[in-house]
Chains A and B, each alone.
Chain A
Amino acid sequence: MTESVSKESSLIADEGLDKGLARLTSEKIEKTIKTILTNETGARLKTYVSTCVHCGLCSDACHVYLSNRDPACSPVGKIKQTIWEIVKKKGKVDAQFIRRASEIAYTECNLCRRCAMYCPFGIDISYMILIVRRICHKLGVTPHYLQDTAQSHSATLNQMWVKDDEWVDTLQWQEEEAQDEIGDLRIPIDQEGADFFYSVIAPEPKFRAQLIYQAAVIFHSAGVSWTMPATPGWDNSDMCMFSGDNEMMGRLKKAHFETAMRLKVKKIVMGECGHAFRSVYDVGNRWLGFREPPIPIIHSIQFFYELLKEGRIKIAKKYAKTVTLHDPCNTVRGAGLHEMIRMIAHETCEKVIEMHPNREHNYCCNAGGGVINCGPPFKNKRVENNSIKADQLRNVKEQGAETVIAPCHNCHGGLEDIIHTYKLDMDLKFLGDIIYECMEKPEE
């Protein structure tokens, strides 16, 4: 058949991809692919490739395809351009092919798994895209910005090159700030035997330290026993899971779980991040050989839900603006927390309007899966490739929604760009923002 060329194939310049490309030889490509296909894949890949009946029914699942109507961006279209060729040619593909495959795998698929709910066979496209990423990682053809975060992970065990003393400084600084509001508030550092260890992603101390402050106020008000570690292992994020660096992903998860063990806590509660949850709950634990995480992992959505349900935090006045809810794939399609998000929203907000489709069927923000972490070179494409999300938001805005609640850091990044570019003029909030704003706080 003729090679159809995607509209997207006007390649976007990226230092990581272009330099990686220059180092490739056909022998290296073939050898690397063969090694990965034989050692790391098998029945699943084979069955998925030979069972797919090329029916295209998965197309309507993908926000990228729904946004640009380019068949090359449908889930199966992306698979056709990557893994089918790789399998068919047994690795005898050229450098340009790898360049394009890498761009598809890292920047045109969010691994959001919506297509698995639309394919009649439940073929797992995101699993196959991850194999492509694994190959690209091994070949050293990864987007520059994404690779930088992965590098940071391997050097510092956190995503943002946060130094050990900076980390502790930030916690103490937020504690001081919060003490202006609540005099006896503490951010307990390295407290062995606390009930839980609160873990966050590195962008929190780096750019959004007030989120740690807010969490501290919520925990303090609820009177729970918690701690944050003083050592590396505090960061739960994981760009290595998305870059294809499984070994490094394993190291990160191990450090995270071991930190919990060292602190002798009963569970880990984690901040409002989707991909980090996936990495500890679904992917990283498996790489380390645990069927379930070795220690209970509770996402903030669930933790807040429990605090509200048990009456440990009370709402003083409801959030006045009308809100809408963005369901993050990794905690909704990934963990079924959607009804909890709704319970929290209804408890804390005057009026909630649903976007459609919602819950498991929600469209991804197009930031997830490491796509936003591929940085500025791909930003325009990322925003253009999610006009369907903009339509969805515009629709609820017309019905009066002013605030979007998105309990996920990546979603925030993605939605922020969408709201800005499509001039939607809506506020973006975490659940923690809303709870902090509306709850009863202890008197000074």
Chain B
Amino acid sequence: MHAVYNFVSGPLLWVSFILFFGGSVYRIVSMVRMAKKTDPVVYHFWSLKYALRSIFHWIIPFASENMRKQPAMTIVTFAFHICLFIAPLFLFAHIILFKASWNISWMYLPDTVADIMTMIVIGACIFFLVRRLKLPEVKYVTSCSDYVILAIVAAPFITGFWTFHQLPGFRIMGIAHILSGEIMLAAIPFTRLSHMFFFPFTRGYMGSEFGAVRHARDW
């Protein structure tokens, strides 16, 4: 068990960090370079001003027409994405680990706050799941991979919560937690989770076309 723990929290962690950072850089750089060759139109029409105008309207809750039309989805998705970033980055348990390995640390969240955020992420994943199963227009475009991606994202939060509260079998769960966190990190650049990097590009390009060429809003 100890050997497994050491392996998972040692070498594997490095592998996942390398895949995450390396993969992210690779995906972005290769997209940007490919676009230069195949889609120079994006460069010709890119306008920073209008790209930002559009991006702002889509990262502020309820700033776009569609967000106002889908209030439940808007609230859930913003809560989800915010907690998804904040919880792991400012978790006491995680910061302790950084401190132990590299002697760096930063502020952390009180346990109850971290707990609530974790539950928000898990709850949001359940909401997304129900949407996929129930709404015909979402169901129609859902493939197995969408469920797998949801599971990949939910897993570290479920297992982390489990470990933290020392529920039965938490030792194994601890290992499962680290492993699932690593899987999630590694999956980001290579699955649809890469939407994280491409969002500013796709939104910004559409914002540029709408703003600078078509003189119209796109939100």
Contacts and interface: CB of A to CB of B under 8 A. Distances in A.
Interface in A59-83: 59-61, 65, 69, 71-72, 74, 76-77, 80
B202 A47 contact: yes
A273 interface: no
23 contacts: A42-B35, A42-B38, A43-B35, A43-B37, A47-B31, A51-B194, A51-B202, A56-B140, A57-B73, A69-B136, A72-B140, A116-B218, A117-B65, A118-B66, A120-B58, A120-B199, A122-B54, A122-B58, A122-B202, A122-B204, A291-B44, A335-B215, A357-B65
Interface in B24-65: 31-32, 34-35, 37-39, 41-42, 44-45, 54, 58, 64-65
A60 B136 CA distance: 12
Contact of B39 (A44, A291, A357): A44
B170 interface: no
Contacts of B42: 43-44
A74 B216 contact: no
B80 interface: no
B166 interface: no
A286 interface: yes
Interface in A134-169: none
B2 interface: no
Given A43-B42, A44-B39, A54 B142 contact: yes
A330 to B, nearest CB: 9
A360 interface: yes
B143 interface: yes
A357 B202 CA distance: 25
Contact of B207 (A118, A122, A361): A122
A50 interface: yes
A329 to B, nearest CB: 10
Nearest to A360: B216
B173 interface: no
Contact of A55 (B31, B138, B217): B138
Contact of B214 (A50, A118, A122, A333): A333
Given A44-B35, A336-B214, A54 B202 contact: no
B148 to A, nearest CB: 12
B198 interface: yes
B139 interface: yes
Interface in B92-150: 131, 135-144, 146
The 3 closest A-B pairs by CB, nearest first: A42-B38, A336-B215, A122-B206
B219 interface: yes
Among A4, A46, A117, which residue has the most Cβ atoms of chain B within 10 A?
A117
A71 B41 contact: no
B171 interface: no
A117 B64 CA distance: 9
Contacts of A80: 140-141
Nearest to B51: A122
Contacts of B214: 282, 333-336
Nearest to A55: B138
A121 B202 CA distance: 6
